[in-house]
Amino acid sequence: MIGPLNRTMRRTRRSRTAELGRLAERMMSKPDPILIGFFPKRTARPDAWFGETSVEEVCSVSDCISTGPEDWINRWKHNMTWWLFDTEEVAWEIVGEDRPAYDMYAYRLFPVVFDGSVVSPVAVEATATGDLSEYDFLGYDPVSREEGISDFGHSPLSCNKGFDQYQVNRFCLLDDLNAAWRITSEIARDAKEKHSWEPGPYYLCEVHRKRK
């Protein structure tokens, strides 16, 4: 029979273990993100589907809600690695005269892949170049990219109502890197084991937007 003192000691040990785990997460070094490209989008605002939410703009990596220029793929100006544009100038060429309707985004990707419960380093081929000094950092976004598919798939924080489960900022993104890392890991794991999100693997991106 376990007495009150033993139960208290066990709870204390569990609490200390959890605290040490959180400390290790904060201390774990993360690789530097790499600029992988630019993309122009019509930034969408939440509609009725979002329900009551603190999200004011949908600035996800995926273009499911905030969309890019029509027929941009068939212009074949994008890079073949991430299906983004290597420079801001090329991205604006695709927009043409409708430029005021678009925001210019830049994405930096952490060179790791989240596949189920496994997080592995990955070589990132990137040809994008540009100065982001006129861009604002908006947050972090976990995004899927299925095997054999060239472009990014879905951003679960917006596409799958992840904003109901996780605390997001006004851009439907994550503010804290350690939290973003943990959430991406959880989503990737649950996508594979529980099929509760879009199929992975998943990547974690920084989202930047040019100031107007």
* Number of neighbouring beta carbons within 10 Å of residue 112: 20
Q: Does residue 160 have a pLDDT over 70? A: yes
Q: At what angle do helices 4-27 and 177-193 cross, to 10 degrees?
A: 110
Tokens representing 199 are: 């199929």
User: What is the distance, to the nearest Å, from the Cα of residue 118 to the centroid of all Cα atoms in its chain?
Assistant: 17
Beta bridge partners of 103: 41
Tokens representing 63 are: 């273009």
Least confident window among 13-22, 85-94, 126-135, 160-169? 13-22
Q: Alpha carbon of 210 to those of 38, 104, 151: distances in Å? A: 10, 6, 22
139-166 average pLDDT score: 90
List the one residue out of 209, 106, 207 whose CA is nearest residue 158.
207
Least confident window among 7-21, 34-48, 158-172, 180-194? 7-21
Give the predicted TM-score (pTM) of the model: 0.85
Predicted pLDDT of residue 116: 94
The Cα 171–Cα 100 span in angstroms is 20
**What is the rounded average pLDDT for all residues in the chain?**
89
Residues 4-29, buried b or exposed e (16+ Cβ, 10 A)? eeeeeeeeeeeeeeeeeeeeeeeeee
The Cα 145–Cα 201 span in angstroms is 6
Listed as own residue / partner, the contacts of 51-54 with beta carbons closer than 8 Å and 24 or more positions apart are 51/164, 53/163, 54/168, 54/170
Predicted pLDDT of residue 3: 61
Tell me if 82 sits within 8 A of 151, measured CB to CB: yes
